[in-house]
Amino acid sequence: MKKSRLIFRLVDLFYIVMMILPPLAGIVLKILTTPPSEGINVSGAGIYFTIPMPIQDFPVTEAQVVSVIVIISIFFLCLYLTHGLKENVELKRQHLAEIIVEKVDGLVSENMGEYFKGYSPFIIAILALSAFSSLSSLLGLYPPTSDINIVAGWSILVFFLITYYKLKCGPLYYVKGFLEPTPILAPINLIGEFSTPISMAFRHYGNILSGNVISVLLTFSLSALSAKILSFLPSFLSSFPILRVGIQAVLSVYFDVFSGCLQAFIFAILTMLNISGAFPMEDYFARQSIKNQKKKKHVNQ
Amino acid sequence: MELAIAIIMGCCALGAGIAMIAGIGPGIGEGNAVAKACEAIGRQPESKGSVTTTMIMGCAIAETTGLYALIIAILLIFVAPITMVGLLVDTISAL
């Protein structure tokens, strides 16, 4: 009995360590690879190395590395939360896991309807990935959501899902959808089709990036201002940016924590609404019932 | 050569400033949304939670146009000068 308890504890410890290690490794990597710089420095994700490929070289960027770090951390967080699930609840973490699952199930069935009930794992995956990616900037890592390539990947995935549900009633029905209300508007409908993933990606990435840019500009201007104010002191004292203490922390609460979580929530909500809105449910069930009747007739004959 | 580079840098900064005029739209729109939400909460204080959630959602979506302008401004400031000056240098060296 005691031995199994010890093994349980050890597995718990392993999960916690694996949760914390990847961000630490990311911080160490960031410290080792970032060159010291002065002044304003707004650049894209740094490229660690490139893998040669036949058509185009494949660069491994900071954003990709950090998003993999986030994925590993979330994976072990999920394992930790679901470790030792029992019918009569013993551990506190099971309550937390149950709350999360129930909330997401409620959100999905409220926004998407009963037909899409199986989508709650996908939605919580997008929500957690987006939220934790944005929050990784609190650790000093490069937030992957401020790189458009990462967010565009997610929104292209959503675009494929939308097209899949639009094609459920057959390709002819899909083409007919573009010719409504009049065939003249077909090009505008086509643009509207492609603007959905683009606007989703731009909204998420623009919000996080604008927070970063404003923080960098403010940091630079505050250090310049404090140097101006303290110019009567000797040089080694006046070069200390006293105004930079504490002011950005207030902004960080808005830009990193609030904005990051809000954008994750909005991305998830838009995913749900777009997917469920693309599915012509009544027509699909009408077609299905007609097909079933035909099949029955075949069998009877 | 230096004059051309100066013109490119100046016009990029000018263009970024003009692009950010689009910030007016989301400002007015979000202000309207928040004003109406305050009215709604004043009329029905018990529905505060749902009104606030809907308002924040709507504000975030209304922000989109402003963010498009912001992306264009960021591209104009940080990306366009480098590419354009590179293009200019290439053209001149080719001549």
Residue A79's pLDDT is 92
Q: Looking at the partner chain, which of B61, B64, B78 has a beta carbon nearest the beta carbon of A42?
A: B78
Q: CB count, 10 Å around CB of A52? A: 7
How far apart CA A231 and CA A188 sit, in angstroms, is 59
pLDDT over 70 percentage in chain A: 96
Higher pLDDT, A208 or B57: A208
ipTM of the complex: 0.72
**Out of A43, A202, A266, whose CB is closest to B71?**
A202
Per-residue pLDDT reduced to its tens digit, A170-198: 888 888 888 878 888 888 888 888 888 98
**Count: domains in chain B:** 1
What pLDDT digit, counting tens, does each position of A34-91 carry?
A: 777 665 666 667 788 888 888 888 888 888 999 999 999 999 999 999 888 888 877 8
Whole-angstrom CA distances from A153 to A74, A126, A295, B22 are 19, 11, 41, 27
A255, A214 Cβ separation under 8 angstroms: yes
The encoded tokens of residue A248 equal 């950005």
Give the amino acid at A191. I
- Give the closest-approach CA distance of A66 to chain B in angstroms: 23
> How many Å apart are CA A54 and CA A239, to the nearest integer?
51
The per-residue pLDDT for A38 is 60
B61/A207 Cβ within 8 A: no
pLDDT digits 0-9 by tens, A256-300: 898 889 889 889 988 988 888 888 888 888 888 888 898 888 887
Token couple for A93: 């973490």
| pLDDT over 80 (residue A236) | no
The yes-or-no verdict on residue B21 having pLDDT over 80 is: yes
For residue A235, pLDDT beyond 90 = no
CA-based nearest residue to A147, from A157, A138, A137, A161:
A137
Whether A215 contacts A252, CB under 8 Å: yes
Give the domain extent around B75: 2-94
Nearest by CB to residue A266, choosing from B60, B68, B78, is B60
Ranges of H-type helices in B1-95: 2-19, 24-43, 48-62, 64-74, 80-94
Interface subset of B 31-60, CB within 8 angstroms of A: 56-57, 60
Residue A294 CA from chain centroid, whole number: 45
**Would you say residue A242 has pLDDT above 80?**
no
For position A295, what pLDDT does the model report? 87
Query: What CATH number has the domain bearing residue B46?
Result: 1.20.20.10
What percent of chain B has a predicted confidence (pLDDT) above 70?
100
Helix (H) or strand (E) holding A216: helix A186-229
d(CA B82, CA B76): 10
